[in-house]
Every structure is written in structure tokens, then in C-alpha cells.
Structure 1
Amino acid sequence: MIQPKFNGDRVLLALGALITLTLSFANGFATLATELDRPMRCQLERTYRMVGYNCANLNLKEIPQTLKSNLQILDLSFNRIRDLNKQSFARYTDVKYLYLFENMIQNIEEDTFTELTGLEALDLSSNALKSVPVEIFRLPLLRNLYVSNNALHDLEEDLMLLDKPIRAPIQILNMADCWLTKLPNFGILPDLWQLNISSNPMTELTVEQFSPMCNLRSLDLNNTQIPICACQTMTTELTARRTKILNNHPHCTPLFASEQSICAQDVSPAPPNTDFQQCMDVRNSRILDTKAKTAWFKISLGVLTCIVVFSLILCYFHKRNVKSMKDNNNKPGKISVPIHRVMVPSGDELPIVENGNRDKLIHNCD
């Protein structure tokens, strides 16, 4: 009888395949468990005593309409939302912070954000927008606006239909990588202090475009294509206004006198800067209004304090007098009941009564 020949290599290969298959199944189950652990609906969160919902990374295609209507923070980032309309946020008019970055938003219907009068921060970064809805710039409390990584080719044309200066008190504006060749004309921006226009082909950028931003404190120009002389002039002017410039182009800050002289020849006398002056007038008027309100508040507080102190003093003396009268009335041996004394005539003296004729006649008869 012929015995089968034992092949060790085949056994080892079979064992290896079995171990690999087992590990693959285990890895697959682990991955599946991880996916199951991910929340499949919006999570209610509270931040700084505000009601918020975290709806990020849920593959949403539209705005959920089953959340609490009094929410103030709504995070819808990393989803697949394409369109927004008037009904998208009709239930959430109390929202203050709205995050829509990393979606696929292409179309935003007119008046989508009109009712969000309490909105303070809006992030529309990394979408497929060609412009920004103009009603956003009419929101009375909007301070932070992020629209980076959008090809905003139509923004300048849409801003021509907007009344200037804009109503929104924007303080932080991020328009990085938006394919802008020059700054959009928003009118004067007296509240803006941080601007990011990095990674834009700013071939038409001039220092005059920053005139309406008299309060600008931080400007990001990294990876921005700017002509050499325009960049040098702008850097010099804005640095004199105490604006911190973030720029990775060394030619924007000339090190040698020859570089300065070359650009100085191309600089023409600047016309009177009316936008900057108008911006400063608005800021100064606001400062004066704030000081006036503060002064009136202090005066009112002082008058109110005097009235309260005077009232407390009167109350103190009144209580003191009442207590003193009670102490005097309660002394031992003193009759507290008043005595009514009657004068009785002595001897033959008769009381003289002046009232009545009858008494006089009787007296005359005697």
C-alpha cells in the first residue's frame, strides 16, 4: 500500500490563508462596529448656555426640520446639501451661529437668510457658490462671515445691486481662494478688523481699495498674486495704519533703497481719500455716542444713588423719632391719659356767660 506523501508547504499555505481570512473578517466586523458607533442623527448639545445641534457628517441632503425651533447653534458641515430655499431655516429664526462649510451648495434662493436677524456668524466655506446672497449683508448682527474656497465670479456684479454702506457690522471676513482679482466693493466697513484674501489672483489690487476699512488690524495676503510695486505701496501704507500684514512674498517688503526708488517712480500723487475719512467719521461718531451714553448712565446712576441714600436717611430719622416718642410715653409714673380740668368758681363769684340774652336778664333781676 502506497502512503500519501505529506506536503508541509501546502499545509503552511492553507494555515496562512485561514489566518488571513479570519483577520479579514475580524477587521471587517471592527470597521462595521465603528460605523455603527457613528451617530445617525443630529445630536443636541449645549454650549455657553445656548441650545445647539451637531448635524455634521451625516450625509444630509437637506436641512432637517425636526429639531427644536429655539436652537441657537446649528452645525451642518460635511454633508451633501446642494440647495437652500426660504423654508430651509424658517423654523430656526433664533439661530446665531450657522455652519454650512464642506457641502455642495450651488443654489441659494433669494431671502433664504432674511429672517435670521439674530445671526452673528455664518460659514459657507468650501461649497460651489458663484456669489453670496446679498441679503446676508443686510443682517443687523452679522459679525463673522466665512466664504473661502468658493469661485465667487459673480460677487462684484451682485454687490452693485446692494445699498452701501452695508448694514451688517462685519468684523471678520474670510474670502481666501475665491478667484478674486480685486476687493469687492462693500462700501465703508468701519467694524472690519480682520480680512483674509489669501490665495487669490489679485492682479487689480490697490491700496485705495483698503480705504473704506479704517479699522483693519489684520490682513492675510499669503499666496496672493500681487504686482511688486502695488504690494510694496500697500504694505507701506497699511503698516503706517498699524495693520498687521501676513505675506510670504519677500518683494512686498523692500530691503534695499534701489527697490524703493524703482517703485517710487511709478507712484502718482494720491487723490483725497474720501472713503477713509468717511469711515473715520463713522467710527468717531460711534465713539462719541458710546461716551455720551456712558456719561448719561453714570449721571443717572449717581442721581439714583443720591435719591436712595436720601430716602434711607429720612427713613432712619423717622424710625428714630417714632422710637423716641414711644420711650417717653412708656416712662414709669407718667399718666399717659390726658386730664380735662374744669374751672369751678369759688364763693359768690358767678361765671360770666357771654352767650345768650336770658342769662343776662336773670343777672339784672338779682
Structure 2
Amino acid sequence: MRIKMIWWWLLLLAAALCCAAFELPEKGRGCVVLRTHGMLGADCSSRDLRDVPQNLDTRIEVLDVSDNKIRELTTNSLSKYSSLRFLYLGDNTIYLADDGVFTPLSSLEVLDLSLNVFRRIPFDVLRLPVLRKLDFSQNGIILDDPDVYKGAPVSNSLKVLSLAKNKLKEFPPLWMVPQLEYLNVSGNELRSIKITDIAPMCRLKEIDASHNSKLFKGGLDKCDCYLFSTWIERRNIKLIPQVSLNCPPTDTELCENSTSLREALDLHSRCNSKVETFQRQAAIKKTWMWAGIAAAIFVIIVLTGALFMHCRNSSRRKVSANNNNQMVCNDVKKMPPDPSSSQLLQDL
């Protein structure tokens, strides 16, 4: 009886251990793995995480770690997930990212760092080769020191940038994103936008400057107003909100010979040179890629042809050898009997 009781207790203990091992993950520990638009992804949002999970499939292309309690990104935070294309880190309290934390993400296209406490855009982000969209809204960026981006790398891919709802009082220096097309600086404290601010972005199509209550409300020089309105009109840049700047009458000839315009044209020209360089490099890279593919196809065709010829020659040699053997056999059959051999048989 006592032995049976011991066995029952052992069975109950084993069952309890199994349940503990396979119980559903608690909040903050489990991520949902899913397929989205044909890509492998992981939803780790709203789980009270303090770090980026390290136990996910390294092949994931989409990772959502938004609405957690992450404060720092170390060099190992994202190093496992080099296949990422979409990364959402919004609504955390990230204030620090180690140098090189984003470097392994060479396939990253979209990065959301909104609702954090960064004070500037990490330089590593600008080095990402195919990043096209960056959300840096609601980070409390003040940009008191315009020299903070001195030495920053130039992004050759970024098309969309949001700096909405920060604390910008001056237009940020954005010479490092020459291919930018859409810029959102809404909900800040901007007082003015000058042509020298936007000239370094020679592919710019739209500026959302809404909800800047002090923008263009005094303090804008007559020439600055005229030049800005003329610049965006001639280059088809859409300004939101679409308000008339109501520039006061001014001497247009004097403004068009101003230092500001010459500086803006020089910045715009430099931007075009950078973009053309990027396009040439991309074209060369594409050419080499297709050349490599063509070379690989050529090698495969040559090897396939060589293998085919080898197989055909081998088959011919086998057929020829079989024919020769058959001829030998036929010749042996046709040979007349040896008289000496017949005499020996008779003697036996």
C-alpha cells in the first residue's frame, strides 16, 4: 500500500513538472510568431519587456517590440536578427543606443523609434544601406546645438523622415539625407523655414509643417519670405498647411542676388552631385550583379554542355566496345576447327 502511494506521489510530481514546463508564457515573456505579407515576423509588443528578446527565430524579417520598457540598446540587442526589414521600437523609454547596434541590420527598410527619449538621430541609422523610412517623432529633440551632426554619415536611401511632435525651435540640419522626399516637422515650435534649410534635400517633394503656431508669424525677412515661396513653387514642393505666406513687397532683383540664394544654390548643387554619385554606384552595382548572374549562367551552360558531351562520348565508347566484343565473338565462331585438336579428341 505504501509503495502504491509513493508511486502516485511520483506521478503527480511528474505531471506538475510537465505542466510547469509547458505552461503558456507569462506577460512579458512570450512573443507571437506570425506570417505577415509573406514574411516571418514576431509580435512582442505590450509585454513589459526590458530588453529585445534573444530567443526568436533569427530569420525573422518583421519585429514589433513597441510599448515595452526598454531603456537601452546594446551592441548585442539586435545582432542576431540580421534579416530584419521592418523594426518597431516605438513607445519605449530608449535614451541610449550603443555605437554599432544597428550596423548588422543591412536589410532594414523601415525603423520606428517614436515615443522614446533620444536627443538626436543615432549615426548608425544613417549608415543603413536600404533604410527608406524613419519615424523619430515624439522624442523630445530640442537640437540646441546645430553642430551635433558634424561628422554624421550621409544616408543614400532615406526617403521618409518624421520629426513630428518634438521640441524643435529651429529647422534641423538635414544635409545628411539628400534623397529625402517626405519630411514631417509638424507639432514643433518652428518659427521659420529658409531656403538654406531645405536646399540640401534636392529630391524633396513634401514638407508637413502643420501645428507650428509661430511659423511665419513675424521675424521672417522680406527676401527670405520671397525666396522661400519662389523656391518651393519652382521645385513643386508641397507645403502643409497650404497657406499663403503673404510676403511683403520687396526688391526681387536684390533678393535674387543675395548671399542666401547663392548659398542655397550651392547646397542644392552639392546635393545633386551626391545623388548622382549614389545613382552611378547603384547602377555599377546592378551592372556587376547582372554580369555575375550572366557569368554564372554561362558557366552552368558550359558545364552542362561538357557533362552532356562526356556522357555522350562515354555512351559511344561503350557501344563501340560492345560492337568490338560482338565482332570478336563472331570471328571466333567462324574460325575452322584445328585438325590437331580433332586428332587429340579422337585419341582420347
Task: Work out the CA distance in 1 between the residues paired with 2:251 and 2:199.
Answer: 20
- Unmatched tracts of structure 2, length 5 or more: 1-24, 302-348
Looking at structure 2, the residues matched to 277 and 49 of structure 1 have their Cα atoms a distance apart, in angstroms, of 41
Query: 1:181-221: CA deviations, max 9, x gaps?
Result: 33333425342111111122223531111111111111101
What are the residue-to-residue correspondences of 1:142-161 with 2, within 5 Å?
Answer: 142-154=131-143, 156-161=146-151
What secondary structure is seen at the aligned counterpart in 2 of 1:239?
Answer: helix
**How far apart, in 1, do the equivalents of 2:64 and 2:194 lie?**
37
Relative to structure 1, is the Cα distance of residues 214 and 144 closer, same or farther in structure 2, using a 3 angstrom cutoff?
same
Among 225, 230, 234, the alignment partner of 2:228 is 234
Query: Which residue does the alignment assign to 1:51?
Result: 40
Is 1:96 the counterpart of 2:101? The answer is: no
**288 and 79 in structure 1: CA distance in 2 versus 1, 3 angstrom threshold:** closer
1:1-366 correspondence to structure 2 within 5 Å:
41-154=30-143, 156-163=146-153, 166-187=154-175, 189-203=177-191, 205-224=193-212, 225-228=214-217, 229=220, 230=224, 233-247=227-241, 250=243, 252=245, 254=246, 259-261=247-249, 267=255, 269=258, 270-272=261-263, 273-284=265-276
Cα 1:177–1:191, aligned 2, differ >3 Å: closer, same or farther?
Answer: same
Q: C-alpha offsets along residues 253-302 of structure 1, whole Å, 9 cap, x if unaligned?
A: x2xxxx531696995722251111122234456667888978xx8xx99x
* Maintained 8 Å contact 1:52/1:73: yes
AA at the equivalent of 2:71 = R
Shift of 1:226: 2.3
Change in 2 beyond 3 A, CA 1:114/1:156: farther
TM-score (norm 1): 0.61
- Over 3 Å counting, the alpha-carbon distance change for 1:86 and 1:39 in structure 2 is closer
| RMSD of equivalent CA atoms | 3.4
For residues 92 and 159 of structure 2, the distance between their equivalents in structure 1, rounded to whole angstroms, comes to 24
Q: Which runs of 5+ in 1 are unaligned?
A: 1-35, 309-366
Provide, for residues 332-351 of structure 1, a one-character-per-residue CA deviation record: whole Å limited to 9, x for no partner.
xxxxxxxxxxxxxxxxxxxx
Following the alignment from structure 2 to structure 1, what is the Cα–Cα distance between the partners of residues 65 and 118?
16
In structure 2, relative to structure 1, the CA distance for the partners of 1:134 and 1:284 (3 Å cut) is: closer
Deviates more, 1:184-193 or 1:127-136: 184-193
Cα distance in 2 for partners of 1:70, 1:289 equals: 29
Q: What is the aligned residue count? A: 258
- 2:283 and 2:111 map into 1 onto residues whose CA distance is 31
Distance 1:278 1:101, change over 3 A: same
1:243–1:251 CA distance, 2 compared to 1 (3 A) = closer
SS of the residue corresponding to residue 267 of structure 2 reads: helix
Using the TM superposition, give the Cα deviation of residue 79 of structure 1 relative to its aligned residue in structure 2, in angstroms. Answer: 1.3
Alpha-carbon spacing, 1:85–1:284, altered in 2? closer, same or farther (3 Å): closer
* Higher alpha-carbon Rg: 1
Q: Which range is displaced more, 119-128 or 230-239?
A: 230-239
Q: Is the 8 A contact 2:61 2:85 kept in 1?
A: yes
Q: 3-state SS of the aligned residue for 2:249?
A: helix
d(CA) in 1 for partners of 2:170, 2:81: 35
Q: What is the CA-CA distance between 1:39 and the residue it aligns to? A: 9.4
Q: 2:71 touches 2:96 (CA, 8 Å); kept in 1?
A: yes
* Percent identity of equivalent pairs: 25
